[in-house]
Chains A and B, each alone.
Chain A
Amino acid sequence: MKYLLLKHYRGGPTPAVGYAPMDQWTPDEVDAHMQFMHDFAARLEERGEFVDGQALAPEGAFVRYDGEGRPPVTDGPFAETKDLIAGWYVIDVESWDRAVQLAGELSAAPGPGGKPIYEWLEVRPFLTSSPTVTE
């Protein structure tokens, strides 16, 4: 079963632990965090659970159709209050429980002082494209 682990720049439940933005950490703390992320992705691949991982720039806009012969309307840059996606992993695992376990692992990425950042991650099951046979 495939699941999306969604990382957010902002939005979601109230952070469990408050911490400064990464550019205000020490270089060693930054390195440790990046190494953790790198190792996490490598472990997913080793265990045959990795499907895709991508990061998104914070910039962008909402876009919609605005009628025949008119250019699309854009709404952006994003307001500070909006929920903002930072990136994702797509994993292919045996169960919801396993997806939750992995999200919990990822959420323990180290931050200032080497302590876990307790980041909220959104976990979403993919709808499969073939119907479940139940007869």
Chain B
Amino acid sequence: VNGSLLRDLVPAVIGVLVRRGAHFASAEDAVQDALVEAVRVWPDDPPRDPKGWLVTVAWRKFLDAARADASRRKRELAVEIEPPAAPAPSVDDTLRIYFLCAHPTLPPGSAVALTLRAVGGLTTRQIARAYLVPEATMAQRISRAKRTVSGVRFNQPGDLATVLRVLYLVFNEGYGGDVDLAAEAIRLTRQLVALTDEPEVSGLLALMLLHHARRASRTGPGGRLVPLGEQDRSLWDTDLITEGVAILQAALARDRLGEYQAQAAIAALHVDARTVEETDWVQIVEWYDELLLLTGSPVVRLNRAVAVGEADGPQAGLAALADVNADLPRYAAVTAYLHERAGNLKLAAELYAEASRAATSVPERDHLTREAARARQLLRP
């Protein structure tokens, strides 16, 4: 059984069950049960129509659960036993499952978990392992999330921006447990591109592909972080780059710019350079300007200062830092880099050490400690 092909069908099947009158929470449980059965039965007896099979089995599981529930509570079934004949438009229903799982009333961590389960078809155990929490904790988080969205009307239009944010969060988590979360985010975003007609969705997919293309070069021996400028560009995945650039160009051609398209454009300019020296920093600064107009984000302002430093020299970069909030996590690291480029090694070394104390991850901390040591070594006679 091809796991990801099987899981591709999950949101559509949940959509069908909900359309037939099942509550989202019970529909989702029933589809998980059906997946378990599919994994057991399909190798010996592959169905001709996998989606139809899943709908039938999930619907039966749902009815079993509803009956058990009803007899437990000594009351009548709330749903029709026979499914309504008319099949619903499945594209819209699948899309609604995305909206429901990333509903703005959910905290981001819960939206991520629910999306991985009900859209991604991952098991609670896989999601728990990926996020390093006990399975019982993750199960509780998911069932609370389901309860939160249980009052949301299924036909209500959703908020695509929150869906994109959730998918990008999953992507940025990278590897976790036995699940490749970055690949999973790409798979779900690909599906979403097929369900929607929004250039920003394509922009996000392009951004993910262009980042993902560099994955093999981003870590060195012992998990150490390799910054963009030092990455072995021969390790970059040219197929992913070609695909990402094509998707981005098609999106940009529609002339409805958004933050993910702008970020993807920056990523595309990076991967377009055969050596770090060939990087078109002037264009990258222009894209940061666009991105700043779109988001006003302090983090964008900080990253823009790095690009300005490369395009117009370190003094210009330091000047661009003037209106950036110094409390940002990577502020000291950026300042250190710009001071080093400006030739002030002593200050750079001190700032790298300060940055390492403010780092938010172990690889980042180790990298900045190494940078401090490197700057200090250059200082020695």
Contact = CB atoms under 8 A, between A and B. Distances in A.
Residues of B contacting A: mostly = helix
Most buried by B among A23, A26, A58: A23
B376 A31 contact: no
B167 to A, nearest CB: 28
| Interface size grouping (class) on chain B | 20 to 34
B222 A38 contact: yes
B370 A30 contact: yes
A38 B373 contact: no
Contacts of A24: 372-373, 376
A26 B360 contact: no
B347 to A, nearest CB: 13
Contact of B365 (A29, A35, A55): A55
B377 A23 contact: no
A27 B374 contact: yes
A26 B223 contact: no
B365 A27 contact: no
B362 interface: yes
A57 B353 CA distance: 13
Interface in B337-381: 349, 352-353, 356-360, 362, 365-366, 369-370, 372-374, 376-377
B224 interface: yes
Given A21-B353, A23-B352, A23-B369, A34 B222 contact: yes
Interface string B204-237: 0000000000000000011110000000000000
Contacts of B358: 57, 59
Contacts, number: 45
Contact of B349 (A23, A30, A35, A57): A23
Interface in A47-75: 55, 57-59
Contacts of A19: none
B230 to A, nearest CB: 13
A27 B223 contact: no
A25 interface: yes
Contacts of A25: 373
B377 A55 contact: no
Interface string B40-68: 00000000000000000000000000000
- Enumerate the 5 nearest inter-chain pairs by beta-carbon distance, A residue then B residue, closest first: A23-B372, A23-B353, A38-B222, A27-B373, A30-B373
Interface of A: 21-27, 29-31, 34-35, 38, 55, 57-59
17 contacts: A22-B369, A23-B349, A23-B353, A23-B356, A24-B372, A24-B373, A24-B376, A25-B373, A26-B373, A27-B370, A27-B373, A27-B377, A29-B373, A30-B366, A34-B366, A57-B357, A57-B359
